[in-house]
Structure 1
Amino acid sequence: MNRRFFHGLLIAAMAMTAFVQAPAIAAESKEQAALALVKNIGDEAVKTLADTSLSEKQKQEHFEKFLDNSFDMPRIGRFVLGQYWRDASSEQQTEFLKVFRDFMVASYSEKIGSYSGENLEIKDATSLNDKESLVHSVITRPNGPPIKLDWRVRDTGNGEKIVDVIIEGISMAQTHRSEFASVISQPGMGVDGLINKLKEQIKTASN
């Protein structure tokens, strides 16, 4: 799957789930809690995306809140920086986490308008370890084949958070990790070079 197509699918997935925070739910298992999180997000997202009374700006604002509240962005940020996280100074780590979060907002919130009648169909959840579950789902589309979409959900001790989205077997987090490593390893780049490149992309997306 090429990068452009993957990003297109990711945008559709993020748009599908950008508008609701799941409430705290008493569940018998972490798998049930993970299922409840993703199901509630999907159900409410479809309703909100179809709401023509909301402007695109309002939907983008919802997306930003969704990202902050439903994704464990610090954990994802540390993962995508990979081995370079340990080598980075504390100042670089702090700056990267902020810029990475802003990069995610800028990259995907502007594409919210790409929603065109998709629905999220939740299948089941499996345990990955004592902290994480994988929720299996499918995006059904009126004008295309279904898209397999898995959600890696972690029990943080303070509620469930999404730590990865896996589309047709391709991990969002791993994709960013590989792309960022490629940038950092270029001569004269390093972590500071990656941060500056992300800032440029944020600026471009905002224009």
Structure 2
Amino acid sequence: MFLRLSSLCLSALLICCVLAPGTSFASSPARATLESTVTRVLDILKSPDYRDTAKRDAERNKIEAEIRNIFDYEEFSARTVGANWPSFTADQKNRFTEAFAQLLRATYLEKIDGYNGERIAYTGELASTKGDKVEVQTAVTLKDGKTVPVAYRMLEKQGRWVVYDVIIEGVSLVKNYRSQFQDLLTKGTPDQLIERVRSKADEVRAKAAQ
């Protein structure tokens, strides 16, 4: 479970964006941000440069920058560690955020070449009372015809909309990691957790490079 959910949610950003049949609601700023990110990622994936092995790393760096721009790693980190976050020192928070970001990016890059024309339909949105948080609801259609509900929870931060959680088939990415991290913190220290996450990121990166 350590990587399963993150693999699917990050891969979901690679799929083709189409409106679900019969939908007519206007695009919110949050959804527009998500759509524009996916469009730019797809443009890179479809570019001849991406298929050029000599330019592949540079193109992947462009995709990584797009994901980094929409995924708020600091928010993800604070929410996944949960109640233990205040006990982390400022240095530990910084190191954990970087290690967790490396894990998510490594997982994403490992899965990126698996894009196979999957589609995503936007099925609805839920907004908080204050309007500062939005859940963009989608349905991913896989090549075998299976439909997987994926919802992106977004918040407005410093004038832009960012993703802080992904819900896949009713399971929260944040809660999934929180459960694992709490177990590790019960048995160990923040520094040990950071090293565990960093080690997992290195493992995934090495596998992708094979």
Q: How would you bin the TM-score normalised by the shorter chain? A: 0.7 to 0.9
- CA spacing shift, 1:102–1:184, aligned 2, 3 Å: same
* Number of residue-to-residue matches in the alignment: 192
- Partner Cα distance (2:5, 2:102) in 1: 20
Partner residue, 1:34? 30
The one-letter code matched in structure 2 to 1:102 is Q
- CA spacing shift, 1:79–1:43, aligned 2, 3 Å: same
For normalisation by structure 2, the TM-score amounts to 0.80
**Once the 2 structures are TM-superposed, how far is the Cα of residue 194 of structure 1 from its aligned partner?**
0.6
Query: Is 2:170 aligned against 1:169?
Result: yes
Q: Percent identity?
A: 20
**Once the 2 structures are TM-superposed, how far is the Cα of residue 183 of structure 1 from its aligned partner?**
1.6
Deviates more, 1:170-179 or 1:37-46: 37-46
Do the aligned partners of 1:63 and 1:105 also contact (CA within 8 Å) in 2? no
**Once the 2 structures are TM-superposed, how far is the Cα of residue 155 of structure 1 from its aligned partner?**
1.1
Do the aligned partners of 1:46 and 1:119 also contact (CA within 8 Å) in 2? no
Partner residue, 1:57? 57
**Once the 2 structures are TM-superposed, how far is the Cα of residue 201 of structure 1 from its aligned partner?**
1.3
- Tell me the alpha carbon deviations over residues 98-156 of structure 1, each in whole angstroms, 9 at most, x when there is no partner: 11111211122121111111012112222124210111111122323111111111111
Do the aligned partners of 2:181 and 2:193 also contact (CA within 8 Å) in 1? yes
**Once the 2 structures are TM-superposed, how far is the Cα of residue 39 of structure 1 from its aligned partner?**
2.4
The one-letter code matched in structure 2 to 1:76 is F
Do the aligned partners of 2:7 and 2:111 also contact (CA within 8 Å) in 1? no
Partner residue, 1:88? 88
- Partner Cα distance (2:37, 2:121) in 1: 11
- CA spacing shift, 1:58–1:106, aligned 2, 3 Å: same
Partner residue, 1:26? none
- Partner Cα distance (1:200, 1:136) in 2: 33
Gaps spanning 5+ residues in structure 2: where?
A: 17-25
Do the aligned partners of 1:148 and 1:168 also contact (CA within 8 Å) in 2? yes
- Partner Cα distance (1:78, 1:125) in 2: 24
Partner residue, 2:9? 10
Gaps spanning 5+ residues in structure 1: where?
A: 18-28
- CA spacing shift, 1:6–1:75, aligned 2, 3 Å: closer
User: 1:172-191 counterparts in 2 under 5 A?
Assistant: 172-186=173-187, 189-191=188-190
Partner residue, 1:199? 198
Q: After the TM superposition, which parts of structure 1 deviate over 4 Å for at least 4 consecutive aligned residues?
A: 2-5
- CA spacing shift, 1:33–1:166, aligned 2, 3 Å: same
User: 1:124-143 counterparts in 2 under 5 A?
Assistant: 124-130=124-130, 131-143=132-144
- CA spacing shift, 1:146–1:59, aligned 2, 3 Å: farther
- Partner Cα distance (2:172, 2:70) in 1: 17
The one-letter code matched in structure 2 to 1:163 is Y
Structure 2 SS opposite 1:135: strand
Partner residue, 2:19? none
User: 1:144-159 counterparts in 2 under 5 A?
Assistant: 144-159=145-160
Deviates more, 1:39-48 or 1:128-137: 39-48
**Once the 2 structures are TM-superposed, how far is the Cα of residue 97 of structure 1 from its aligned partner?**
1.2
Do the aligned partners of 1:60 and 1:110 also contact (CA within 8 Å) in 2? no
